[in-house]
Structure 1
Amino acid sequence: MTTWLVTGGAGFIGANFVLEAVAKGIHVINLDALTYAGNLKTLDRLQDNPDHLFVHGDIGDRDLVTRLLLEHRPDAVLNFAAESHVDRSIDGPGTFVQTNVVGTLGLLEAVRDYWKALPAEKAEAFRFLHVSTDEVYGTLGETGKFTETTPYAPNSPYSASKAASDHLVRAFHHTYGLPVLTTNCSNNYGPYHFPEKLIPLVIAKALAGEPLPVYGDGKQVRDWLFVADHCEAIRTVLTKGKVGETYNVGGNSEKQNIEVVEAICALLDVRRPRADGKPRRQQITYVSDRPGHDRRYAIDASKLKNELGWEPKHSFEQGISFTVDWYLDNQQWVNDVLDGSYRLQRIGTDA
């Protein structure tokens, strides 16, 4: 049986990936530190499933990682573990450096030593896949897209920490020969997304009748990628990707933030109308912009399409409709998340 060690597998993208991997017959060792964004309730359907073992721990705990590697002998390690919210990185950059840089370094060291001791055939097949972000490339003007050769120019503590982790992964390949793969994705959305991020935040506030905060003029552009498409892309890169290469993953769905918010409002007006019958777009409120807010991201994923045969299956219209329906059907999951310290308040204002 194929075994994968997945780090950060109780977070948004990682949990979606784990759920699909186990459903496909992969044996998954799931290591997660369960910070505020990690949620075991997301993995409820895997309770008592022998193909899923959850381990509470940190990727920077080298002794723990080494033990897991030696006990379970995974065929691949997939690193989703990261602090990932720009606003939180503004308020507390140190946590991002500790997890995304120091933690990734510890993980790489443990994996390198495990890989070097593998029998030749197993070592040849082994892979370390690092999941990263398009934010490492900085910001774009009105035209152009990020390619795998776009120079790194991170503009937030979050993206700077992810850029550093990408460089470490590359260095471990070129210095030690570790068989690595890196993916840089655009903005993900879909089920199980922690509600500090734009789409689940707007859904939650819209249902609560609260103002819907839009940063600046709302015309910042993102390329939206449905999380199930991203998970398929990662599996494709893992099985078909060329060792040492980077692959950009995008959804071919560029939208301004204000367009995303208005689309959510329109869907909720049909599915869950306000008691007074008024359109929810009236709840939109423009607020001061995020410090250092990148204006536009756009991914050129042609390398992934042309070399490995992947492209997204969901349009934004399909994905956002499914996502709104999922949140409407899973309000208990949202309420359980919001029982913690985060109550939909704005963060990232320290700058």
Structure 2
Amino acid sequence: MNCTRRLTIRGHDGSVHPFIVQQPASRQGRREERVMQLFRILNGVLERKKESRKRNLFFHLPLIIPLAPQIRILQDDPSYASLHGIFEEHCNMIGIHKDDPIMYYTAKVKAGLDIKKQADMLNLKMEIADEIASKMIPETILSDFMMRNMKSYTDLWMIRKQFTAQMASVTFLTYIMSIGHRFPTKWFISLQTGNVWTSDMLPVFSPQTTTFSNSEPVPFRFTPNIQHFITPTGVEGVFTSSLMSIARCLSEPEFEFDQYLGIFIRDELVSWFTAGMKPLNEQNLGERVTSTVDQVLKRTSILSCKPEREKGRGSNIPANQTILDLISQASNPLKYAQMDCTWLQWL
């Protein structure tokens, strides 16, 4: 049984810094710290670029200080609210158990197990999700929670704007690094600043190709409650422009993104082979690193929308068409139906 403790460190200037004591698995904890170190370096690049600096774009990464192989302290913000905690608060307010939507979903799916066609089963799951959204979990949970905790409409507007920009940075991070399993328990939102971060940021490896590969149907988490709080105007405006700005700032020729990725990905591959107790061929290691780096750079290029920008000259194709396609895929109910019910697609 693991118990989490919070401690507070007072700085030399009298400032107070709360931390959480954690006992993660040493292998997984080191991988997560490596990802955060990489994107802290990229924060320095975003500070120097005009397009990202004027939009106040950065990756919100709490400090992690390892004290021992299995003990570390994580910078904490008392105003953090997890997406799952917001969901639980809503369930308590309407008088249902937090597991009732999942139990309802599984019961309905079991009742329709005699359906043999995959398409019919997906349609059934979509209908069940619609019923849960209409009876238990509406798309306004996150918006209502923010309105209850903001003191004024100005604060709500500022939090929404910062949340939208932070969603773009988290989306960029999870998409290019193939970080999946973004359950609501891993999402944390600061009610004071609007900053967003996700825990357990571990790239997913494909056993066949030994490269980063997220097999989930959706490219990133963009569920109805997140869409409603951002609003359609925010999705088409701040979110897409912020996502494209981050990608372009990190994919410009003068910044050698591939050099940073090469060092990081090599350590990830060595760690993955060691954890699986698989033989590592040093001769093929360089090829595997190169192929994985190319894959990450390709995903970054997709988000930067540079090919679409050239293609869109003199035509009606939007400059950010590739991002709009990914958003459409991430918000498609048919893709949600292919996800596990514990992912809480209706949230």
**TM-score computed with the length of structure 1 as normaliser:** 0.26
Greater relative contact order, per chain length (Cα 8 Å cut-off, separation 6+): 2
More strand by share: 1
TM-score by length of 2: 0.27
